[in-house]
Structure 1
Amino acid sequence: MSITTTTHLNFRGQAREALEFYGEVFDAQPVVVTYGQAHDPQGEAEHVLWGEVAAPSGFHVMAYDVQTDRDFDPGVHPVYVSLRCGTEQEVTTAYEGLARAARHVRTPLGPSAFSPLYGMLTDRFGVTWVIDQAVAFSAG
């Protein structure tokens, strides 16, 4: 048995749109269950109770819409999602896809001290992505 970490994103009415967007970027079909489908009266019927995008490449993210009767503050400092890619092409494809209508490009795509290709941006949903090509790191 193995344990994996999956990023879980919380929204207020945007989970479906976000999952569809990430599915498009990473070539995967989102899976969505709404509060209405689950007969759960705690949320808006059309809002997402449970959703995920799991791509053949290994990309995996989950998301849901926080119930309207619960306090929801996405926070002053959003959670950063680290996307470690094996090739420059994977980095470029992910970065360019997520950059569409991005709120803010924090670091343009380019080389860094720790990766041959790295970039950081906040997408149109307010999620900040750190995207790089994974290589062995040498402190020396």
Structure 2
Amino acid sequence: MAFKTTTHLNFRGTAREALDFYQSVFGGRSVAVTYKDAGAVQDESEADWVMWGEVAGDDGFHVMAYDVPSRLPWNQGENPFFVSVRGETAEEISALWGKLAEGSAVVRPLEPAQWAPLYGMLTDRFGITWVLDVAAPYNG
């Protein structure tokens, strides 16, 4: 049996904006189903919020997202998870970094590290912390 995992991001009213941003960085296709689309509106002010959404690319990139309704508890928390993106070349990782860095807070600059030719960490404008690095051969 094979398994596939996908990072699922939870927002409060900004899921569509986040999905659009991630699609602009990584490409692929974006889908968003609102509470209105699904016939699941419980608060009219949240009818256009995302009940289910994703960005998926042919290269394997995939994130899902939704807007947590105000009737449910939600706290973005502090560092509850990181999204890790590992590429094969410095060029592809540097290009993604440049796009993600817009409006972000750099936690660790994108630069060589002991364990990777290139490594960096930033928290984007949606509060999501991303770790980007270039794959390095294991020298165990």
TM-score between the two structures when normalised by the length of structure 2: 0.93
Q: Output the CA distance in 2 between the equivalents of 1:47 and 1:87.
A: 37
Percent identity between the two aligned chains: 51
Deviation at residue 72 of structure 1 after TM alignment: 0.6
CA deviations over 1:94-121 (Å, ceiling 9, x no partner): 111100111x101111100111011110
Are 2:79 and 2:129, in contact at CA under 8 Å, matched by a contact in 1? Answer: no
For 1:135, what is the secondary structure of its paired residue?
coil
CA deviations over 1:9-41 (Å, ceiling 9, x no partner): 000000000000000001123110000000012
Say which of 83, 96, 107 aligns to 1:81. Answer: 83
Q: Which amino acid aligns with 1:35?
A: Y
Q: Output the CA distance in 2 between the equivalents of 1:97 and 1:67.
A: 29
For 1:90, what is the secondary structure of its paired residue?
helix
Deviation at residue 4 of structure 1 after TM alignment: 1.1
Structure 1 segments (4+ residues) deviating >4 Å: none
Alignment correspondent of 1:135: 136
Q: Output the CA distance in 1 between the equivalents of 2:52 and 2:69.
A: 12
- The structure with more strand, counted as a fraction of residues: 2
Alignment correspondent of 1:114: 115
Are 1:118 and 1:132, in contact at CA under 8 Å, matched by a contact in 2? Answer: yes
Count residues in correspondence. 138
RMSD of Structure 2 on Structure 1 (CA): 1.3
Alignment correspondent of 1:9: 9
TM-score between the two structures when normalised by the length of structure 1: 0.93
Alignment correspondent of 1:69: 71
For the pair 1:39 / 2:39, whether they are aligned, the reply is yes
Say which of 84, 94, 97 aligns to 1:95. Answer: 97
CA deviations over 1:37-89 (Å, ceiling 9, x no partner): 00012462100000000012211100000011011111122311111111112
Q: Output the CA distance in 1 between the equivalents of 2:125 and 2:78.
A: 16
Unaligned runs of 5+ in 1: none
Moved more, 114-123 or 39-48: 39-48
Unaligned runs of 5+ in 2: none
Are 1:98 and 1:123, in contact at CA under 8 Å, matched by a contact in 2? Answer: yes
Q: Output the CA distance in 2 between the equivalents of 1:129 and 1:42.
A: 33
